[in-house]
Amino acid sequence: MLAKKLVTAQKRGETRALCLGLGMVTCSMMMYFFIGITIVPFYTKSVWTIETVCKVLKANIKEKVLCPDIEGSEEEDTFPYPCLQVWVNLTASGQEVMLYHSEDTVEKNPKCSYVPDKLENSKEVKARIEKIASNFKKYHIFPCYYDPGGTQTNVILSRLYPTKGLLFLFLWPTLMFTGGCLIIVLVKISQYFSALSAWQ
């Protein structure tokens, strides 16, 4: 009687462990799919892939512009902000090019190097842009990214999805997938040895 109870408890535990492993594998595949359709296209679309060194030539704050400065934008989504323009010397080619904060900045407003988030306090926006301009003048040599193909003559300060960040995103589903597969394999090995011992 006790042996039957132990066997039943063992089978329940194996079933739960197997369901856990299958659940982990399923969740990891869903995470792979989500990352593949949302983040990977933005990463592959970016042409600023080579890192180099940029030296600031000038950083000027011009008159206020509307954000975003793109076609088809609704008026309620626009707000005025000071336009910061940063020009740098690209070490790789020696050219004088315009610096943008990220790929997103180029799409939002190609006239300005930095596009702030929509804030109600215009003084806070102005203070932030002035601080960024002073930092560029203070730290005038820094790493940046350029387009080796030459389709984009400008450079960006940071990529939205760098290679290390993308690998880090894939790390968690990979660990979950590996753990799930390991649990399934251990359950199958346990079932095999149980059946072997019962046959003997």
Residue 73 confidence (pLDDT): 47
Q: What is the tens place of the pLDDT at every residue in 134-160?
A: 888 888 889 999 988 878 889 999 988
Q: Is residue 29 situated within a structural domain?
A: no
Residue 82 confidence (pLDDT): 84
d(CA 104, CA 113): 11
Q: What is the tens place of the pLDDT at every residue in 51-104?
A: 889 999 988 888 765 555 444 444 445 567 888 999 999 876 778 899 999 988
d(CA 29, CA 34): 9
Count of structural domains within the chain: 1
Q: Is residue 112 situated within a structural domain?
A: yes
Q: Is residue 151 situated within a structural domain?
A: yes
Average pLDDT over residues 10-22: 82
Neighbour count for residue 89 (Cβ, 10 Å): 16
Q: Is residue 12 situated within a structural domain?
A: no
pLDDT exceeds cutoff 50 at 129? yes
Which residues share a beta bridge with 144? 52
Q: Is residue 199 situated within a structural domain?
A: no
Nearest of 57, 10, 4, 38 to residue 190 by alpha carbon: 10
Q: What percent of the chain has pLDDT over 90?
A: 24
Nearest of 65, 63, 132 to residue 100 by alpha carbon: 132
Q: Which residue type does 58 have?
A: K
Strands 155-156 and 96-100: what pairing? Answer: parallel
Q: Is residue 168 situated within a structural domain?
A: no
Residue 188 pLDDT grade (very low, low, confident, very high; cuts 50, 70, 90): confident
Quick check: 109 and 84 in contact, CB under 8 A? no
Domain of residue 65 covers 50-162
| 12: its two tokens | 């329940």
Residue with tokens 């399934």: 184
Report the chain's mean pLDDT, rounded to a whole number: 81
Residue 119 confidence (pLDDT): 62
Q: Is residue 23 situated within a structural domain?
A: no
Q: Is residue 178 situated within a structural domain?
A: no
